[in-house]
Amino acid sequence: MIRVRFAPSPTGYLHIGSVRTALFNYLFARRQGGKFILRIEDTDRERSNEAFLEEILENLKWMGLEWDEGPGAGGDYGPYFQMERLKIYREHAQKLLDEDKAYYCYCTPEELAAERELANLEKRSPGYSGKCMHITEEQQAQYDREGRDPSIRFKVPASGEVVIDDLIRGKVSFDNCLLEDFIIMKSSGIPVYNFAAVIDDSLMHISHVIRGEEHLSNTPRQLLLYRALGYPPPEFAHLPIILDEQRRKLSKRRGGVDLRDFRMDGYLPEAIFNFLALLGWSPGEDLELMERDDVIGRFTLDAVSKSPSVFDDKKLEWMNAQYMKKKTPAEIADLSEPFFMYSGYEPERRFLEELSELYCERIKKLSDFPVTAACFFDEHIEYDPDAAIKYFKEPGVTAKRLRDLEDVIAELDDYNKETIEKAVRGLAEKLGVAAAKLIHPARVALTGKATSPGIFEVMELMDKPAVLSRLIQAAEYLEEKNKAKAEQ
């Protein structure tokens, strides 16, 4: 039975790199007909908190990465919160202590830090000296009397090596002598990551540990622990990490790095799903746009690349636009409503749907929508400087044309895009100018911008009174400008 897990710690928002790790675990489980397990590693008491937990669960669901076992899903191998498993870790630690595979360490963090610093200064490697390994009983009693809580360290075998046969990277070996006796239980009685993960993965019968490459160097420690505990180790697969455009580990870019940032930016989960699947994995057939089931059907670990990949926002945007185009106006309306609300607009449902129809092909992400369609909501139109330079450059003539346009439109009884177009083109002919001479200034007058959806559709949806008032507004603005120009 294939069993994989995603094990986030609730110490922050769900990072996009974590989402990719979760995704690959999910894809592998679904492809292999296995189980996808969610385990919460909440042993960092200082940084963990409930709000982050909720946020992580909610975001995983939003991505459609439903877990088969874990918080809210039950399962036979719980509890799925590490803080509820302390007894288990303590028993395992005791076992190692009894078998002389671990020992108490009474060094304080301060002492250890000082030692490390000294080692650094003397350019020695900063490993633990092992001085508590042979502590005398009376010394121990003394420390106990002082009320010093010991941590527990694992006794790393002095010689030998650990070989990992990574599913993505192949054989990787580490020499034991490079490893220090690392702590497995903190003095607080809470296990450290390497220890807890090994025990949980064993007890939860995890068959494949698929995680970020940053854990590769931790794996020898864990393998030693499996050995000491007598548990068979799982298979390992270390995923390449995701870099930002500076080729650094994805960190505080301007758009953010947490899933919530992308979500608030208006990216669709299916686009992120597709994009992330292609980050470090390839179906091998020049396929780009892939439905969820298609990705699942083709996913294999050996097609995962070894080299880190740079997160390309532009490609994500493009992919998002592709998925947006597949949506119906009704769907876009549903999805974009919160974004309008956030911008302070309260469009009526019907109207929003019509607006979606007009804009769905030209917005890349939902947060663009209220911004580009602002002219439908704001009474006062701000003219984009570039647009004004381009189409308002002859204020006198342009004002006149807009007045003419206003007249023609005001006379329209049957008001729809066909009649509007006919009227506008008719006026152009009458004036002996290209229709564009009316259309462009009108666009700036109505939207404030040099670009918009088809102008006749815009006019139709904006409705007659608003169109007229905007034409007047622009005409007045231009007349004012013309006067100022004449006075110069």
Partner RNA sequence: GGCCCGUUGGUCUAGGGGUUUAGGACGCCGCCCUCUCAAGGCGGAGAUCAGGGGUUCAAAUCCCCUACGGGCUACCA
Per DSSP, helices labelled H in 155-280 are 193-203, 219-229, 259-264, 269-277
Between residues 180 and 353, which has the closer beta carbon with respect to RNA? 180
Give the DSSP H or E segment for 38: strand 35-38
Residue type, 78: G
Give the DSSP H or E segment for 208: strand 208-212
Question: What 3-state class would DSSP assign to 3?
Answer: strand
The pair phi, psi for residue 100, each rounded to 5°, is 65, 30
- Of residues 447-466, which lie at the interface with RNA (CB under 7 A)? 450-457
Between residues 159 and 488, which has the closer beta carbon with respect to RNA? 159
Question: What 3-state class would DSSP assign to 85?
Answer: coil
Among 162, 192, 225, 474, binds RNA (CB under 7 A): 192
Binding of RNA by 436 (CB under 7 A):
yes
The pair phi, psi for residue 75, each rounded to 5°, is 135, 160
Which two three-digit tokens encode residue 51? 């709000």
Stretch that binds RNA, among 254-262, 313-321, 341-349, 394-402 (CB under 7 A): 313-321
- 127 neighbors 120 (Cβ within 8 angstroms): no
Binding of RNA by 217 (CB under 7 A):
yes
Q: Is 252 a catalytic residue?
A: yes
Stretch that binds RNA, among 56-64, 175-183, 254-262, 293-301 (CB under 7 A): 175-183
How near is the Cβ of 484 to RNA at its closest, in Å? Answer: 27
Which residue in the list 155, 252, 315, 483 is annotated as catalytic? 252
Binding of RNA by 352 (CB under 7 A):
no
Size of the site for RNA (CB under 7 A): 88
- Of residues 44-103, which lie at the interface with RNA (CB under 7 A)? 44, 47
- Of residues 237-296, which lie at the interface with RNA (CB under 7 A)? 240-241, 243, 245, 247-249, 278-280, 282, 284, 286, 288
Residues 356 and 350: their CA atoms lie apart, in Å, by 10
Binding of RNA by 433 (CB under 7 A):
no
- Of residues 136-155, which lie at the interface with RNA (CB under 7 A)? 151
How near is the Cβ of 110 to RNA at its closest, in Å? Answer: 9
Among 21, 25, 32, 194, binds RNA (CB under 7 A): 194
- Of residues 354-373, which lie at the interface with RNA (CB under 7 A)? 361-362
Give the DSSP H or E segment for 164: strand 161-166
Stretch that binds RNA, among 52-60, 67-75, 121-129, 335-343 (CB under 7 A): 121-129
Binding of RNA by 439 (CB under 7 A):
yes
Biggest distance spanned by C-alpha atoms of the chain: 108
Angle at 168 between CA 164 and CA 169, to 5 degrees: 55
- 370 neighbors 363 (Cβ within 8 angstroms): no
- Of residues 369-408, which lie at the interface with RNA (CB under 7 A)? none
Which two three-digit tokens encode residue 389? 């330079």
Please list the active-site residues: 252
